[in-house]
A and B are shown apart, each in its own frame.
With several copies, the nearest count.
Chain A
Amino acid sequence: MATVTFREERCKGCELCISVCPEKIIVLAEHYNAMGFHPATVVEMDKCKACAICARMCPDVVIEVVKEEKQD
């Protein structure tokens, strides 16, 4: 299980994360953030592979990726 967190108030809606996510699970939200942008968000978190490609691409360091490792 992966958690991708967006610091929504910092997102500029550039869509670069969207364009690189291999799972195509990021979209821009309908609402505006305080800067007046539609912030990015993950729609189907369960599909996320925690590859962090989105985070690496994001110019504004909006994204943090955490993976729940299986506890054996």
Chain B
Amino acid sequence: MLQEVLIAGFGGQGVLSTGQLLAYAGMIENKQVAWIPSYGPEMRGGTANCGITISDEPISSPLVTEPTTLIVMNRPSLDKFEKSVVPGGLILINSSLVDQKVTRQDLQVLEIPANRIAEELGNTKVANNIILGVLIELTGIVSLEAVVESLKKVLPARRHNLIPVNQQALEKGMQLAKEFKNKQ
């Protein structure tokens, strides 16, 4: 198994930490993992993205140039990365922030109004984890348990009270994914 995920959005949208959460979960499951951010000058207040590789084999290069999954958190990221996804790959779009459509026909695409759903859960900060929930359900890349476990490691102790709402968000995402699969 080799999964290469690219998460892209604005700086400040939690793109990097969401990626780290995923990598951490992979590590907990004793997979080979690597995480790497883009670190161009564009980062300054502009777009931010990171690549996560989760694999059974040792990872040669952690650069994610042809993602199996792309998570899109703002419009410029869709413009920029749509073409790089492997044929048959997956794109998850936070449609609360991105009103644009994917043009390629050879991909699986899911639009998730993550901010709106997060608001419903009472905390807009968990939007990313809704999408992450979708991802793990659709791809089986890591288990829910591993992500929840990782939250404990990634969140500072004083934020551990947020773990339940984050877990809720993950589960909500998984549920959406299941509905989607059923629809297909």
Interface size class of B (residues with CB under 8 A): under 10
Whether A34 contacts B76 by the Cβ 8 Å rule is yes
Number of residues on chain A facing chain B (CB within 8 A): 4
- Hey, which chain A residues are within 8 Å of B98, CB to CB? 36
Whether B99 contacts A32 by the Cβ 8 Å rule is yes
Flag B84-103 by CB within 8 Å of A: 1 or 0 each: 00000000000001110000
- Hey, which chain B residues are within 8 Å of A35, CB to CB? 75-76
- Hey, which chain A residues are within 8 Å of B10, CB to CB? 36
Asked if B74 lies at the interface with its beta carbon under 8 angstroms from chain A, I say yes
Q: How far is the CA of A34 from the CA of B78 in the complex (A)?
A: 11
Q: Which of B10, B75, B76, B98 is packed against the most chain A CB atoms within 10 Å?
A: B75
Chain B: minimal CB distance from A64 (Å): 24
Q: How far is the CA of A36 from the CA of B79 in the complex (A)?
A: 11
What is the chain A residue whose CB lies nearest that of B75?
A: A36
Q: Which of A32, A34, A36 is packed against the most chain B CB atoms within 10 Å?
A: A36
Q: A34-B79, A36-B97, A36-B98 are in contact. List 10 more A-B contacts (CB 8 A).
A: A32-B97, A32-B99, A34-B75, A34-B76, A35-B75, A35-B76, A36-B10, A36-B74, A36-B75, A36-B76
Residues of chain B whose beta carbon lies under 8 Å from any beta carbon of chain A: 10, 74-76, 79, 97-99
Nearest 8 CB-CB pairings of A with B: A36-B74, A36-B75, A36-B76, A35-B76, A34-B75, A32-B75, A36-B10, A32-B99
